Amino acid sequence: MKTYFESYEQYKRQGNSIKTTTITAKQLLPALIAHMERMDRQFTLHINGQLPMPIDSLIKEAFDQCHLEQPFYTQHCEKRSYKYRQLTKNRVKVEFRMRYRMARQEEKWIVDEIQNILKNRIAPDMSTLQKVFTVHDYIARTYSYERHTEGSPFAVYTFMNEKHGVCMAYALLFEKMMEALEIPCYYVVGKAAGEGTEGHAWNMVQIDEHWYHIDVTWDDIGSIPGKEVRYRYFLVADEKMRLDHEWNENHYPLCTSKKFEAVHRLYDGCLANTSFYYAHPGNGHLYEMNFEEFPFQPKQKLAVKIQFCFYINGLLYFSNDSHTGYLYQLDPDTMELTQLSAEQVIRIYKSDTTLEVLYADETTESIQKVISTDSVSEDTILAETAENRLEVPLHTFGDSWVATIDQQDECQPIVFKSADGIELTVDDEYKQLTVDIYINRGLHIQMKSNRKNVEFKQPAQLKMPISLIPGLEKQLTKQNALAYFADEQFIYIQLYKSVTIQLKK
């Protein structure tokens, strides 16, 4: 990357921070970034030494390049102004004023929300490619391009709350998620065909020492949950990207690898471990492409037309358009194909913890994501229930346990306890929460706030004596998005919302 200025990392290594007010011309860019990262509204810098260009040109150059580092903060800086005074021949005093598109509490909410999203979607053993695929598909399927929003369409806070925004929000969210996953990534500014003079934003990401372009905005081809996603601008080389995009190539690494060109004509697919499953662009049949086998060789898996292909709990789910659009399930290892509905599927979409299916008769079905017990240990589950919390008694009525809490003052985490050993720990904060646990041919756990079903961002923890419902621990393997651990006396279960666990006869 060619630039006159010092890098932000170099600036910090030298011990500089926002307290540093006297800088060189080369340090102007990282000094600005340090203040914008703190979202400082007013600050002063003294530039010492001979300037390489007029002060106005130097400041403009720094502002034009500030997106190269910490773009999540610098691009949320909506308005920048300054005034300067020449103190001596080699010393200039510059006073800056900034206005931002997000507040500090909004920034904290975004960072916490990103962690929750990634926790539910990214497994520790995923490769870099799998993580990039997952984030690309999550953003393209969850959000939609729209300029007319209540908040700023450029802001990530608006984007994540209203599910709408413009290319800047797409690219900033992608970059921030890559940062959280420790995957090298650039936020790229430039121009693109059809975007007029306003400019465009996308990303570059590094996989196996090679850099690639990713334009999630242009891979988003719908406006409803469960919309199709394409891969035309996913892991693209410079040569192809130049056909309809332009950018300052001096500011970014070269993208020369064409490894993923075979993916660019595909759409409506899903990644399952190292394999990509998709509807063939020609005949619509289910195909597989294994990313561990290069060059990639597409293989037909089923000679049936499919739509809405998703992978969850080790199984593929899709609408079988060769059979009236009914919902089907496929085990890709055994190739066991199972029909799950006798009603046409209108749409399938994936949330953090479920696969939601909408049928033609307007009924819906939820397929819960299973949290692998390999990644959730006994120590993890027990540790998360050990901290001090507000204790609320669970009242027992036969095979039912009921409790309601109304927190009038500051909300805090809750643990519901019954005299016979049931404990339900809720870390999400609710002013009002009602819990109803009952046994009737299985275990039913209902949790509502102000009469509405809740879905937790942090999983609730249920500790229950096995003696109350013998055999329960044998029914949990692939049900209800649960992670669990059982000892001789208790079963410990993680859950995100109300569930029903029916015992098999």
As a whole number, the mean pLDDT across the chain is 87
As beta bridge partners, residue 385 has: none
What is residue 484's predicted lDDT score, i.e. its pLDDT? 67
Q: Check residue 223 and give its pLDDT.
A: 55
Domain 8-100 has CATH 3.30.110: yes
pLDDT reported for residue 469: 83
Please give the pLDDT value at position 504. Answer: 56
What per-residue confidence (pLDDT) applies to 373? 45
pLDDT at 212: 98
Q: How far apart are CA 332 and CA 161, in angstroms?
A: 36
**Percent of the chain at pLDDT above 70?**
91
Distance (Å, whole) CA 424 – CA 405:
13
Distance separating alpha carbons of residues 94 and 44, to the nearest angstrom: 6
* Phi, psi for residue 361 in degrees, rounded to 5: -85, 10
Neighbour-count burial of 20, counting CB atoms closer than 10 A to its CB (0-12 exposed, 13-18 middle, 19+ buried): middle
Residues 6+ apart with CB under 8 A from 336: 330
Scan for tokens 């697919």, then name that residue.
269
Per-residue pLDDT at 496 exceeds 60 = yes
DSSP class per residue in 40-69: -SEEEEEEES--SS-HHHHHHHHHHHGGGS
Contact 316, 332 (CB under 8 A): yes
In 3D, which of 352, 381, 382 has the Cα closest to residue 368?
352
- pLDDT category at 474 given cuts 50, 70, 90 is low
pLDDT reading at 381 higher than 70? no
Handedness of CA 136, 139, 144, 149 (dihedral sign): negative
All structural domains of the chain with their residue ranges = 8-100, 103-267, 268-369, 378-502
Nearest to 382 by CA among 455, 462, 496, 445: 462
In 208-340, the DSSP E strands lie at 210-214, 234-236, 245-247, 269-272, 275-279, 285-290, 299-312, 315-320, 326-331, 336-339
CB contact at 8 A, 387 and 412: no
The whole-number pLDDT of residue 268 equals: 81
CA–CA separation, 394 and 425 (whole Å): 12
pLDDT at 227: 61
Residue 447, pLDDT > 60, answer yes
Task: Indicate the helix (H) or strand (E) that contains 488.
Answer: none
Which residues are 390's β-sheet partners? Answer: 414
More confident residue, 25 or 442: 25
Architecture of domain 103-267: Roll (3.10)
503 has a pLDDT exceeding 80: no
Check whether 397 has a pLDDT greater than 80.
yes
pLDDT recorded at residue 304: 92
Element (H, E) at 129: helix 128-142
Bond before 295 cis per omega within 30 degrees: yes
CB 236 within 8 A of CB 207: no
pLDDT tens-digit series, residues 315-373: 999 999 999 999 999 999 899 999 988 899 998 888 777 888 889 988 888 887 765 44
Give, rounded to a whole angstrom, the gap between the first and last alpha carbons of the chain. Answer: 65
pLDDT band at 264 (very low <50, low <70, confident <90, very high): very high
Class of domain 268-369 (CATH, top level): mainly beta
Q: Please tell me the predicted confidence (pLDDT) of residue 475.
A: 58
Supply φ then ψ for residue 330, to 5 degrees: -130, 130
Model pLDDT, residue 473:
63
The predicted pLDDT at position 120 comes to 83
Cβ–Cβ under 8 Å, residues 77 and 63: no
pLDDT greater at residue 292 or residue 171: 171
Residue 384 has pLDDT above 90, yes or no: no
Residue 56: count of CB within 10 angstroms of its CB: 10
Average pLDDT over residues 214-224: 83
Secondary structure class of 171 (helix, strand, coil): helix
What percentage of residues in the chain have a pLDDT greater than 90? 57
Reading phi first (left if > 0) and then psi (alpha if -120 to 50, else beta), residue 383 is in: alpha
